[in-house]
């Protein structure tokens, strides 16, 4: 009876998952990202198989460990992973937790990522070397794939639990920030690690990790050690069962836990509209765990990003930890009104509240990030010993703070993305609704926009030293004032339309109108535009901005993967300029493609679409 129920549930959930995937493929934007991700995954899977064919077992077992790590940490940066079938959808059905979790696990196999991982795990068959080892590789790779998926689901579930308590949200933010910073600056840790000649230790650690148990079983079969083969396969099965049990328990907690309302610790005592709005915003940053998570994440990312090069003795990045934190904070705060959801009606229904609310959000942002980033900048610049960096960072920081404080409200009003209301958040706080891809696109655009606000101050500081500081202050104040004024006017004129968008989302007709111009473009142009927006940061930041910072701060020792630093004399600046031009051109091409596509859409204007 239980087996039949589990089979029926799994069959139904798989059909639902496939139907959702077919629906997603009809959206050209999502199709572009799915195809791009699939092609990149196939290249990585092919590389894994190539490593296995070469017979380099130490490298192969490390690569398999990276695959499992990707399954664990990847969903943490993708809004909690693919939760098309949320557990909350099935709370009213009389399904035992094990049946539901098993069905969701089987449904998770019906996707692009599991298929690509299965192709990568075929490297186990190739690495066997004998017929017996190849036969053992079949159950080993299947168990390994189940462990990958279960580890991913369990990580997201644990992460969601952490985000529901303050200390857990801080820990989760620190882990998230470290992992993201490692993707950009991990080269320094890798160089330091490799230079100590411990590659063998890494391979041994990868064999001990669960990602290496399937590989060890295949190798044991090749040696004829069948006792070890049985033990390792049983260990994989037990591990999968334990993770399934733990995930089932967390699903029960997620779908049944209730959170009692607590009495406010301190009531609002403000006597003016601006004071009330400011107090409300400060409480949002200190009491909403997702707001706090973003704040800790942004500051920690700036610190990790600029301190990782210390592993190879490089201090020239330290002065830029504060500015890097501001850029990340601005991008993470680019959807403030979208995060409000239907609670925005309280602001809309209060006459004359637009300007005080916008200014309050700006002040709250400056109070949260201004003192902390200033202290980080002062301390780390002093520690670095690069005295030439003082006018640069003290010019850039106020410009970035003011630019970010202005851009976040303007972007939130003009390009709000509907997200799940705070009181309707699922047990997975990482998932903000069906528009996660649009939210991430907004974050990427804001990274570039916020970073460019310090350009005038930096140019003056480079040519006139300390004169860049007043220019940075002036540009910061102007950005804060002008973009806040624009956002307040927009709220006054289009507030009801914004509330409708946040309450109901875009209707199918509006969604079709929004994507009509883009869908009319040739497929190659759509794909190229998505590629340029997704990868334009590579030539712009690590290949142009970072080498330029190294040269301006007098660091001539580190080369790593920075192409410009391998050149001589003036050719270094030539390569930096070319890389910057390439990155900006990629962003310009992608942005103009989307802009012109929206202009061609029925109804016409970008402003109408953004509303």
Query: Looking at per-residue confidence, does 600 or 310 come out higher?
Result: 310
Nearest residue to 62 (alpha-carbon basis) of 175, 201, 185, 187: 201
pLDDT at residue 386, rounded to an integer: 81
Q: How far apart are CA 298 and CA 306, in angstroms?
A: 13
Element (H, E) at 507: none
Q: In this predicted model, which residue has the larger pLDDT, 234 or 533?
A: 234
CB-based burial label for 256 (10 Å; 0-12, 13-18, 19+): exposed
DSSP 544: I
Domain parsing of the chain, residue ranges = 2-256, 273-505, 506-611
pLDDT given for residue 209 in this prediction = 84
| Residue 296, pLDDT above cutoff 50 | yes
Which region among 189-203, 217-231, 297-311 has the lowest average model confidence (pLDDT)? 189-203
Q: Encoding tokens for residue 61?
A: 């077992």
Looking at residue 37, what is its pLDDT? 76
Residue 609 has pLDDT above 50, yes or no: no
Please check whether residue 175 is in contact with residue 184, taking contact to mean a CB–CB distance below 8 angstroms. no
> Does residue 42 contact residue 120 with C-beta atoms inside 8 Å?
no
Confidence of residue 268 (pLDDT cuts 50, 70, 90): low
Q: Which token pair is 507?
A: 């209707």
- Mean pLDDT check: name the lowest of 417-421, 424-428, 462-466: 424-428
Which of 56-70, 196-210, 336-350 is least confident?
A: 196-210
pLDDT of residue 480: 94
Q: What is the pLDDT of residues 551-607, one digit of tens each?
A: 776 666 666 567 777 777 788 888 888 988 898 888 888 878 877 776 665 554 433
What is the pLDDT averaged over residues 454-464? Answer: 88
Give the least confident one: 118-122, 226-230, 336-340: 336-340
**What's the average model confidence in pLDDT over 344-360?**
85
What's residue 518's pLDDT?
61
Q: What is the mean pLDDT of the chain?
A: 79
Which of 124-133, 299-308, 592-601 is predicted with the least confidence, judged by mean pLDDT?
A: 592-601
Do the beta carbons of residue 75 and residue 81 sit within 8 Å?
A: yes
The whole-number average pLDDT for the span 15-31 is 77
Q: Under a CB-based contact definition with an 8 Å cutoff, are residues 445 and 178 in contact?
A: no
Helices in 211-318 by DSSP H: which ranges? 213-223, 226-256, 273-287, 289-307
pLDDT the model gives residue 415: 83
Give the dihedral sign, CA 156/161/165/170. Answer: negative
Per-residue pLDDT, averaged over 380-385, amounts to: 89
| pLDDT tens figures, 480-506 | 999 999 999 998 888 888 888 878 776
Decide if pLDDT at 192 tops 90: no
397 falls in which pLDDT band (50, 70, 90)?
very high
- Judged against a pLDDT cut of 50, whether residue 157 lies above it is answered with yes
pLDDT at 266: 60
Which range of 3-7, 299-303, 419-423 scores highest in mean pLDDT? It is: 299-303
CA-nearest of 206, 236, 66 to 136 is 236
Residue 168 pLDDT: 65
Report the range of poorest mean pLDDT among 38-52, 117-131, 165-179, 580-594. 165-179
Q: What pLDDT is stored for residue 606 in this prediction? A: 36
Q: Give the whole-angstrom CA distance, residue 318 versus residue 303.
A: 8
Residue pair 391/465 in contact by the 8 Å Cβ criterion:
yes
Taking the CA atoms of residue 13, residue 17, residue 18 and residue 19 in that order, the dihedral angle to the nearest 10 degrees is 100
Least-confidence region, from 308-312, 362-366, 472-476 = 308-312
């Amino acid at each position: 009876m239980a087996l039949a129920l589990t089979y029926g549930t799994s069959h139904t959930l798989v059909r639902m998952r496939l139907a959702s995937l077919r629906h997603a493929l009809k959206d050209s934007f999502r199709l572009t990202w799915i195809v791009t991700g699939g092609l990149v995954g196939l290249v990585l899977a092919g590389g894994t198989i190539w490593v296995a064919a070469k017979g380099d077992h130490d490298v192969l077992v490390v690569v398999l460990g990276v695959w499992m790590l990707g399954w664990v940490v990847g969903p943490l940066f993708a809004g909690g992973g693919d939760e098309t079938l949320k557990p909350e959808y099935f709370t009213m059905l009389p399904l035992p937790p094990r049946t539901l979790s098993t069905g969701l696990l089987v449904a998770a196999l019906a996707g692009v990522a599991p298929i690509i991982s299965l192709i990568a795990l075929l490297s186990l068959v190739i690495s066997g070397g004998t017929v017996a080892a190849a036969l053992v590789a079949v159950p080993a790779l299947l168990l390994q794939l189940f462990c990958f998926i279960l580890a991913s689901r369990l990580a997201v579930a644990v992460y969601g639990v952490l985000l529901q308590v303050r200390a857990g949200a801080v820990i989760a933010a620190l882990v998230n920030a470290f992992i993201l910073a490692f993707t950009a600056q991990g080269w320094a840790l890798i160089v330091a690690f490799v230079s100590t000649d411990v590659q063998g230790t890494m391979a041994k650690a990868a064999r001990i990790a669960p990602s290496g148990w399937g590989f060890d079983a295949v190798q044991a079969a090749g040696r004829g050690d069948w006792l070890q083969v049985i033990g390792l396969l049983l260990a994989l099965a037990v591990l999968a069962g334990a993770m399934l049990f733990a995930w089932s328990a967390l699903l029960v907690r997620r779908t049944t836990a209730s959170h009692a309302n607590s009495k406010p610790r301190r009531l609002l005592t403000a006597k003016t509209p601006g004071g009330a709005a400011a107090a409300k915003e400060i409480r949002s940053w200190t009491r909403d765990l997702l707001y706090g998570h973003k704040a800790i994440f942004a500051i920690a990312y700036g610190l990790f990003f600029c301190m990782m090069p210390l592993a190879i003795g490089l201090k020239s990045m330290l002065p830029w930890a504060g500015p890097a934190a501001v850029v990340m904070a601005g991008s993470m705060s680019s959807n403030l009104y979208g995060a409000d959801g239907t609670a925005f009606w309280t602001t809309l229904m209060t006459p004359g509240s637009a300007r005080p609310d916008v200014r309050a959000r700006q002040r709250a942002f400056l109070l949260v990030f201004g003192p902390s980033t200033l202290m980080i900048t002062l301390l780390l610049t002093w520690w670095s010993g690069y005295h030439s960096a003082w006018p640069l960072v003290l010019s850039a920081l106020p410009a970035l703070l003011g630019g970010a404080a202005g851009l976040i409200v303007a972007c939130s009003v003009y390009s709000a993305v509907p997200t799940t209301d705070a009181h309707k958040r699922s047990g997975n706080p990482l998932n903000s609704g069906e528009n996660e891809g649009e939210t991430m696109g907004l974050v990427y655009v804001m990274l570039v926009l916020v970073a460019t606000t310090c350009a005038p101050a930096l140019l003056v500081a480079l040519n006139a030293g300390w004169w860049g500081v007043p220019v940075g202050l002036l540009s910061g104040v102007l950005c804060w004032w002008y973009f806040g004024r624009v956002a307040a006017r927009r709220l006054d004129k289009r507030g009801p339309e914004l509330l409708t968008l946040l309450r109901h989302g875009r209707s199918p007709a509006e969604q079709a109108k929004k994507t009509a111009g883009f869908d009319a473009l040739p497929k190659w142009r759509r794909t190229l535009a998505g590629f340029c927006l997704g990868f334009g940061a590579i030539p712009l930041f690590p290949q142009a901005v970072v080498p330029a910072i190294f040269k301006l701060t007098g660091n001539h020792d580190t080369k790593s993967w920075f192409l410009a630093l391998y050149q001589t004399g003036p050719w270094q600046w030539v390569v930096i300029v070319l890389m910057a031009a390439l990155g900006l051109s990629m962003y310009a091409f992608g942005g103009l493609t989307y802009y012109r596509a929206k202009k061609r859409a029925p109804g016409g204007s970008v402003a109408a679409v953004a509303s």
